[in-house]
Each structure stands twice: as structure tokens, then as C-alpha cells.
Chains A and B, each alone.
Chain A
Amino acid sequence: MRTLMYLPEHYEFFCPVKINSGNKALEQLPFELDALNARKPLVIVGKDGSGRGLVDVIIDAFKDSNVTIGIFEGVPSAPDLKLIRDLFNIYRGRGHDAIIAIGGGPAADTAKALNIAVSGKPEDIEGCAGDDHVKEPLKPLIIVPTLAGTGYEVSKYAFFDGKNYASHFLMPNLVVIDPRMTIPEDTVTTIATALIALTHAVETYTGSGKNPLADAYAYTAIQLIMENLANVIGDQQDGNGRLSLANAHAMAGCAFSNVALGVAHNLGKVMGDMCHVPPGLCMGMLLPRVLEKQMSEGGYHISDLLLPLAGFDAYANMVEDLRARRAVDILHDLLKGISVANGGAISRLWKDAQLSEDTLQNIAQIAVGNGAIFDMEGCMKILREAKEGK
């Protein structure tokens, strides 16, 4: 008999990240730093965190703690090695012993690169690029995500100065999710980051590396996004909704650190970078097409996906053979709903990107080179279908 809970013959799961979420979560930072044996953190703030009062919230959280903090504001969207050398000098020169990153990708990537440097020396960074080249535990790292975060911050991955880094030692010791830090910058960023997290969670839940522990993170992330994304788009003051989305992003990051990156991630990332559109929107647009192709090939757990996407009642009311189709339709409907709510942002994406056949070929080629599990033909089919809106 087919069981809903899938246990592979062998799996590995590793997640050392402590998540501290909720009202006044930031005020726990001094206690958590003490537990990590750190006394003087260096706070790195991304552009999405600067000028919006978030730094004041952090300073306020440290009141009465007898902790002195260094604050660096304004991490650029493309940080480089010079910045790391400057931050390294501050870290060492002023006696810091932990790093706190506030914000989305660039702040977290900078913090991870800086952590490699301060745990050894700045020259070590380039040698650590690639898979599993960081071999030892690093200094304490704490991430405080904003809604500009995608879950990447929490993951074992970092992208810095044109190079990819992957190691479980890059994962933060602690993620602090506080509703005061999750006020969205704009709706498109909120949608794009949520779609990245949804893509990671869905591809973990349906991918070949699926295992019960990754499922637990992915399932929760999918459910939180499905229940809260539309509410947050409609009402950015929805504190619980924002907190739920930020939690979903973090959980998706923990989940996809334990599986191979999926096709929608690969294609969407390459396409976003190449065409200068938010990768999250590309991933979201490609995800249902990728699932449709996987569905046609069979054996991919897509029918199980209906449970976190639609809930128990919808799952139980659907005959087993139709569950996968329904799951994909729900994702299509979600995208349509988001696009309508946002004045057609996602549909315009394809027009703005001006995707010629050559561009599609390039995207597919790079994605296959990055390890997409489909071949060129499969990737092209997905890209063409998405372009034609099938």
C-alpha cells in the first residue's frame, strides 16, 4: 500500500540553525549572544534595512544589556572583497566576536564571506568558493531577515563576488524573526521573495532528495506561504502574515540546504540574472511548468503536494489520480491571483524580458551546466511553454 509519508532507503539531514521567532524576539539577542560566548557583535545592515528605522529597533533591543555593538550600514547590492577587507579590519581592530546580518541576500552573503575571513584570514575567501570547501566551524553568525530575504540567508549557500559558496558551516547559528523587521519595502519584492521560498520548498517536497525531516520544513513553509501571501499583498500591516512569511522563508532555506537545487530554481535564477528581472518572479512562473513536466514523467510525489497547498479537506476530497493535476492548477491560480493583485507584474515580466529563442537557449544551457536535472530539450520545452503562456 502506498503511504503518504515517504522514507527513502537512505538520507542525510543537517540543520544546526536555531530559529527565534515572534513578538520581542530581537530582545533575546543579548541572551543568545551570551549563549554563543560572544560579547561584542558587528551588525551588518543591508540596503533594505537602512533608512527604515530598523537599526534603531536593533539598538533598542540591546538596551540594558551592557553590550556594545558595531554597526555597518549600507551593504551594496554587489559587495566585493574590498568591503570584506574593510569589515575584517573593523572586526579584528575593534575586538568584535560575532556577526549579525540584517536584511536580505547581500547582507547575509557579506556576513558569510566575512565570517570565513575573520575565522581565518581574508585571503581564505576565494579558496573556499565551491562545494564544501569551508571545512571548520566559523565564528557565531546571527541572521535577522527582513521580507527582502528569500531563505537563502539561512541556507548553506552564499553568492559573493561572482562566486558560489556552499557549506553547512556557512549556515547561521541563529535566525531571529521579529515582526518589526519584516515591514515590506514594496509589493513586488514581497511577491518575488515569497515565490523563491515557495519554489525551494516545493522542489524540496517533490524532489529526489525528499526525506521526512526536509518534508517537515518544506510542508510548513508551503502552507505558511499559501495561507499568508495574498493577505500580506493586500495588507502590508498584517503583522502575523509578515511573520508567517518570514518564517516560511527561513524554513524553506533550512529545507533546501539538504537537497539538490531544483530545475525551477536553476532556470529562474539564470533567467533573472540574465534578463535583469527578479529571479523570484521567474522561478514562480516556471515552477508549475516544471512540475507538469515532472508529472508527465511520473514518480515525483507531486500528488502529495496538494496537502500543504490546499489543506486536508481538499486533499481528501480529490481522487488520487487527480491530485497532482490539482496541485499544479493551484500554483497556476496563485500566480494569476498575484499578478492580478499586482497589476499584471508577472505577465509583464515576459514582455519586458524580451526573450528571444537565443536567450532561451543560453538560459537552458547555463541551467543544465549548473546541474538542472532536465536536459537541454526539457529545459527549452519549459521555457517555451512559459513564454507562450501555456
Chain B
Amino acid sequence: MRNFKEVTPGKKSLKKCYVAAMMWFMGRAIQASAAVDKSVRKEFVDMPDEFTFALSVMPKGPHMIIAKDQRGFVRYSGWDPEGKKIDLYMKIKNIEAAVLIFTFQESTVVATARDRLVVDGEVAHACAIVRILDVVEVYLLPKIIAKLAVKRYPDWSFRRKYLGRVLIYIRCIFGF
């Protein structure tokens, strides 16, 4: 029939690569923050042992997986959820929404309020993860950008903010 065509839309590879890179760095930063920052550590202490959480982009990734081991250490567990028991999934509905979040045009809180994420798991744990992401973003980003990315920019001491930032960046780069 004229005027009809069947289309298989392509990929958004560049955007996926950007989001995957940001998730990789964010995952390592969460691991580092759990070792450096008291408030992040406390959030994880309140979670059950062997708790595993994944931040994913629908329908097929990229993913960021964070796990708390039996000894209470927080580890970035890579980007492949295959074979892992995930307790909490936070799924971003599409790659464009993920780009909005990871280019800091929308904070995680705003994105959640705008229904750009779905949560599969305990809402209380998801709220804790959103708070952790806010803290990590304050460490990683300069104030002018972080203010866009977090709900409220905190009033931290010079020592906490800058010493913490240095330690977290070092741990991110070297992966411990």
C-alpha cells in the first residue's frame, strides 16, 4: 500500500556511551563515598547485608550495579546485572531521560517527580539511594552544576567538602 512503511528505528549509541561512562564513574564514586563520607556510610549501614541495587536505563541498559557485602563494604559491581540477585531496581524509562539526568538538566529528585524512573523494590531504600546520589554529586561536581543536580545544595564545612572531594576522586581513579 502506498504511504505505508515499516521502520525499525536505529540506536542512540553516542548517548548510550555517554550515560554508560557516567554510570561507571558514578558507581565508583558511590563506592568511594561510602568509605569517605559518614552520611553515605550511614545510609548503607541501614540497608540489609548483601543488598544489591541497580540503576538501569530501559529497555536494555546501560546499568550501574552497587552491592553491599557481608562485611558491610560497598562495592561497585559493574554494568552487567545478568546472574546477580538485584534487591532494588531503579529503572530510567528511556535513554533521553537518562541523558537529562546525567547532563544535570534534571536532578534525580525532579526526574523521579516527573515519572522518568520506575522503582522495583523497597521505596524506603530507593529514597536512601536518591539521597546518596545527591551527596555523591555534591562531591563530584562544582557548585554551579551540582546546584542543578541536587534537591538542596548542602552547607558543608570546607574540610568535608574539599578533602572529601579529593579523596573520592583519588579512590574513583584508582578504584578502591
Residues on B with C-beta less than 8 A from A66 are 59-60
Residues on A with C-beta less than 8 A from B96 are 24, 27
B58 interface residue per 8 A CB criterion: yes
Min Cβ gap A63→B in Å is 4
**Which B-chain residue is minimally distant from A62 (CB atoms)?**
B9
**B7-53 at interface with A (beta carbon < 8 Å):** 7-12, 16
Bound Cα distance from A90 to B12, whole angstroms: 28
A70-78, A185-193, A207-215: which lies at the interface: A70-78
Taking a contact as CB atoms under 8 Å apart, the answer to whether A69 and B4 are in contact is no
Bound Cα distance from A66 to B16, whole angstroms: 14
Taking a contact as CB atoms under 8 Å apart, the answer to whether A68 and B8 are in contact is yes
**Which A-chain residue is minimally distant from B11 (CB atoms)?**
A64
Residues on B with C-beta less than 8 A from A63 are 9-12, 95
**Which A-chain residue is minimally distant from B118 (CB atoms)?**
A31
B93 interface residue per 8 A CB criterion: yes
Min Cβ gap A302→B in Å is 37
For chain B, which range describes its interface: under 10, 10 to 19, 20 to 34, or 35 or more residues?
20 to 34
Residues on A with C-beta less than 8 A from B128 are none
**A43-75 at interface with B (beta carbon < 8 Å):** 59-60, 62-74
B-contact bits for A18-42, CB 8 A (1 contact / 0 none): 0000111001101100100000000
Residues on A with C-beta less than 8 A from B82 are none
Q: How many residues of A contact B (CB 8 A)?
A: 27
A9 interface residue per 8 A CB criterion: no
B-contact bits for A65-100, CB 8 A (1 contact / 0 none): 111111111100000000000100110001000000
Which of the residues B4, B58, B59, B93 comes within 8 Å of A70, measured between beta carbons? B4
Which of the residues A64, A71, A86 comes within 8 Å of B16, measured between beta carbons? A64
Taking a contact as CB atoms under 8 Å apart, the answer to whether A24 and B5 are in contact is no
Residues on B with C-beta less than 8 A from A22 are 114
Bound Cα distance from A69 to B7, whole angstroms: 5
Taking a contact as CB atoms under 8 Å apart, the answer to whether A64 and B5 are in contact is no
Bound Cα distance from A65 to B93, whole angstroms: 10
B1 interface residue per 8 A CB criterion: yes
Which of the residues A23, A30, A31, A70 comes within 8 Å of B5, measured between beta carbons? A70
Known: A64-B16, A66-B60, A68-B8. A27 touches B97 (CB 8 A): yes
Taking a contact as CB atoms under 8 Å apart, the answer to whether B9 and A60 are in contact is yes
Bound Cα distance from A27 to B8, whole angstroms: 15
B109 interface residue per 8 A CB criterion: no
Taking a contact as CB atoms under 8 Å apart, the answer to whether A59 and B9 are in contact is yes
Which of the residues B1, B7, B8, B94 comes within 8 Å of A90, measured between beta carbons? B1
Taking a contact as CB atoms under 8 Å apart, the answer to whether B6 and A68 are in contact is yes
Taking a contact as CB atoms under 8 Å apart, the answer to whether B6 and A64 are in contact is no
Min Cβ gap B110→A in Å is 11
Interface set of B (CB-CB < 8 Å, partner A): 1, 3-12, 16, 58-60, 93-97, 100, 114
- A-B CB proximity, top 7 nearest: A62-B9, A27-B96, A63-B9, A27-B94, A31-B93, A74-B3, A24-B96
18 contacts between A and B (CB under 8 A): A23-B100, A24-B100, A27-B94, A27-B95, A27-B96, A28-B93, A30-B58, A30-B94, A59-B9, A63-B9, A63-B10, A63-B12, A64-B12, A68-B7, A70-B7, A71-B5, A72-B4, A90-B1
